[in-house]
Copies of this chain bind each other. A is one copy, B any other.
Amino acid sequence: MTPSPSPPAGGTNASPQPHGDSIDFQPRKAAIIGVGLLGGSIGLALRRRWPSIEVFGSSRSEKKRQRALQTGCVTTACEDERAACRDADLIFICTPVGLIAEKAIQLAACCPEHALLTDVGSTKRKIVDTVESDARAAAKFVGSHPIAGGEKTGPEHATADLFENKRVVVTPTERTAADRLTRTIALWQALGAEVLQLSPSVHDDQLAGVSHATHFASCAVASILREDEITLIGSGWRDTTRVAAGDPQMWSDIAAQNAAPITVRLRAIRQQLDALIDAIDAEDRDTLMRLLTAAQQLRQCVPAPDSIRAPDSIPAPESAAETDSDA
């Protein structure tokens, strides 16, 4: 396992690294800043992989610290982030995205020289740019984004296998230290993930497409519900709007971190909506069929959740109706 320390080409995904169980370092102490679902799951996964590791978790919430201890996510819980990072080999910043860069810079100043700092934020460009404006933090930090999670939050829902067969994007730049990148990749692989490398801006552009803009579009759909229609809701509405139940504060932070790529994608969605409205208004069946068939083909080319590799090509469309269609 000798991943290249250079950043990937701008516009395309690097292939995922093969799943590796080997890792050439033995972390003795990890610090997790923010012990929620992701931070807690990192703690459990680290302890399963290296049973003797010390895992210090910090949270401002006394209740969350207690739950993290009770569920075994951490071996020590503390309020003071700096204390958690003292002597740590690994530091995971699992706070809301708006706080990550600031904490990385602060903690890089007080953690050991050899420490690796990483994060789990679902935006990367602003975080990495800000961290790299500080030489000491730039030397220790590699951006990470595990594509894993769930609607349930808090350390009580953490699981040691949350990252098993999930993708983790790491986002090196020209300033990233080669040894830190190697260690970051090996670390996520040791926790069961498939790692791929993207530049921070390509990451943000692509995540805007498959996650961030999707979230806001789902909120727009949920917004128009009328209370007297609740009794008529079926599985279609339920699934299409599931993510709209997410934390407004968190998504507002994400919007602030990745505004331009998100609004580009939201405008593309709006353009598609307009085309559908126009075709329905004009009773233009040919255009409507073309738009619906294109959407169906794109949706059907996505592999099942347990198969995380992309198909070689987009398959021919197959009918998979929501309800019945027979004459």
Contact = CB atoms under 8 A, between A and B. Distances in A.
A112 to B, nearest CB: 23
Contacts of A231: 13, 16, 167, 196, 308-310
Interface stretch (A18-26, A44-52, A171-179, A240-248): A240-248
Interface of A: 11-13, 16, 34-39, 59-61, 64, 94-96, 99, 120, 122, 147-153, 167, 169, 196, 206-207, 209-211, 213-252, 255-256, 259, 262-263, 265-270, 272-274, 276-277, 279-281, 283, 285, 288-289, 291-296, 298-303, 305, 308-311, 314, 319-327
B291 A219 contact: yes
B224 A153 contact: no
Contacts of A226: 206, 209
A287 to B, nearest CB: 10
7 contacts: A152-B320, A214-B221, A223-B295, A224-B265, A240-B242, A242-B299, A245-B300
A283 B153 CA distance: 27
- One complex includes copies of this chain to the number of 2
Nearest to A319: B247
Nearest to A247: B321
Most B Cβ at <10 Å: residue of A152, A266, A299? A299
Sorted from nearest, which 5 A-B pairs have the closest CB atoms?
A247-B321, A248-B292, A36-B326, A149-B323, A219-B295
B252 A320 contact: no
A13 to B, nearest CB: 5
A94 B64 contact: no
Contact of A234 (B11, B38, B211, B277): B211
Contact of A314 (B209, B227, B279): B227
Contact of A169 (B37, B232, B246, B251): B232
A122 B219 CA distance: 24
B153 A238 contact: no
Given A150-B323, A153-B324, A247-B296, 13 more contacts: A149-B323, A213-B221, A214-B221, A216-B273, A218-B240, A218-B295, A219-B276, A223-B295, A223-B298, A227-B301, A233-B302, A245-B320, A255-B279
B214 A320 contact: no
A171 to B, nearest CB: 12
Contact of A263 (B209, B237, B280, B298): B280
A235 to B, nearest CB: 7
